[in-house]
Amino acid sequence: MLGGAGILLGVSAAPAQAAEVSYATECIPPAISGLPPVQGTTKVEITAPAEAKVGDEVEIVWKFVQAASKNPNILDLGQDTVQPTGTLKAAGAQTAAIAMEGPRQNPPIPKNSDMKLSDMKGKLKLTAPGEVTLTPDAYNINVNKPISTDTKCTPKETVKSAATIKVTDGGGGPGGTTGGLPTVVPTLPTSVPTDLPTGLPTGTSSPTSPDPTPSESETGGDTGGSSTGGGGGDGGQTDFTGKEVQVPYKCKTPIGDKEATSPVQIDAKKNGGSFDLTVQFKKSVMDSPADIPKDSVKPSMEVVLGGSDKGTVHVEGPTNSEAIKSGDPIEIPDLTGTYKPGASGESTLSPGVLTIEALGTTTTCTPAKSEVSLTLDTTEQASGASGGGSAGSSTGGSAGGSSTDGGLAATGAEDHGSLKALALVAGTALLLGGAVFTFMPGRRVR
C-alpha cells in the first residue's frame, strides 16, 4: 500500500504501520443549502512508516474507513465527482500541518447509499530525531457537478493520534532529494530541528445586491383606452407600469416543502389589441455561493387574470447566458409573454405559479394568496383569454437559448417571515449541499 513511501525512504524505510481512529465531527454544508451544521462520526486509517531518518521525506496515507454520512435520498452523485482534501497534524519531535489530498475518483453514489471517498495522501520532510505523532484534523468534501460545492468538516473532540514515526538521527546529505543510497557513506551527525507550522487562511466577501425601485400603475392615456375596436392603428403602443407586490410562495421542491416571499412587478405595453407583458423580480436575490454553469436554469410563470377577463398568461425568461461565479449576485431575469384579452372591461393581472427548471429537477412555487400588480382596460380579441389557459404566447426564451435542464427555486430560511428572495439556482446547490454531507448517526445541531 505504501510502495511509494518505500521508494522515497530507500534503505532507511521501515515497514509501514496502519492505525485506525474515530472522532466526533461537525460538518458545515454549503451556505446556499440553508442546512444547519450536522454532527456525525468519522473513522479513518492513517498509514505511515514506523521508522525513518532525519532528512527523509515520507508519504502518509489517510483512508476513510467510514464516512460520517450517507448520500441522502435526494441526488445521485456521478462517477469521479467527489474529492476530499484535509489536514493531518504532526506533533512531537516536530510540528507541521500536512496538506492531504485525494484524487477525484469515486464510483457512482446512488441516493440513500454510503459515501465513497478516495484515499488522501501527503508528504512530510522529517527535520528532527524523536517520535512524530500523526493526528487527523479538519477535512473538506468537494462535489464538482453539476456545480461546485464544498462541505467543511472539523473535529468536535480531542482526536487521538493515529500513527507514530520513530525518527532517528540519520546523516542525510544536503539537497533534500528523495530516495535512499544503497551504500554506506559516513557523515558527521547533525541535528537541526526546525518548526514548520503551516496554514492557509482564506476569506472572501460577497458583493452587494442591486437596487430596483417600484413604480405606481398609470393609465394608458386617451388613445389606448377602453373604446371599442380591436384594431391598433389609433394610438400606437402605450406603457402600463404595475405596482410591486410581495408574493408569499409555497414551493414544492425535491428536498421538501419550502416557503419564500418575493417582490414581483408586472408591466405591460399595448401592442395593437394585445399587450406585451414583462414580469420583474425586484431586487437581486442573493450572492452565489458556488459557480453556476451557463444555460443551467430557466424560470417561467403563469400570470393570473381577473376582473373582466379570466384565465392565465404564460411568461418565461431565458436561461442564464453566462456562468455565474461564486460570490457574484444572482439575478432573476425578466419573464416575458403576450396577453391577448378575451373580454372587454377592466382586467387584473397577478403573479401566479412560478416554475424553475434546472439541472434535471423542477420546483413549483404557488402563491399563498393573490396579489394584483396591474389593472388594464381591455378589448376582447379573437381567440383571447376569457377563461382559457395561457392566453397568448411567451417570448421570454430568446437570448438564453432553449437549454432547459430543470431546477429549483431558491427557498430560504423557514424560520424567517421573509426570504432574501427566490434564487434560481439556490435549490440546485441545495441538492448538492444535502447530498454531500447529511449525517445519519448523531444528531442535528442548531
Per-residue DSSP letters for 237-270?
--EEEPPPEEEEEEEEETTEEEEEEEEEEEEEEE
Q: What is this structure's pTM?
A: 0.50
- Cβ count near 88 (within 10 Å): 25
Q: How far apart (Å, rounded) are the C-alpha atoms in residues 176 and 166?
A: 19
Secondary structure class of 165 (helix, strand, coil): strand
| Cell representation of residue 32 | 446556499
Chain centroid offset of residue 232 CA: 48
Low-confidence ranges of the chain (pLDDT < 50): 1-13, 172-234, 394-425, 427-446
Taken as a whole, the chain contains a residue count of 446
pLDDT at res. 27: 85
For the stretch 59-103, pLDDT in tens is 999 999 988 777 766 678 899 999 999 999 999 999 999 999 999
pLDDT at res. 29: 78
pLDDT at res. 290: 64
Q: CA angle, 202 as apex, 96 and 132 as ends, to 5°? A: 10
pLDDT at res. 293: 82
Q: How far apart (Å, rounded) are the C-alpha atoms in residues 288 and 66?
A: 32
| Cell representation of residue 300 | 417561467
pLDDT at res. 163: 93
Q: How far apart (Å, rounded) are the C-alpha atoms in residues 282 and 50?
A: 63
| Cell representation of residue 93 | 519531535
Radius of gyration of the chain (CA): 31
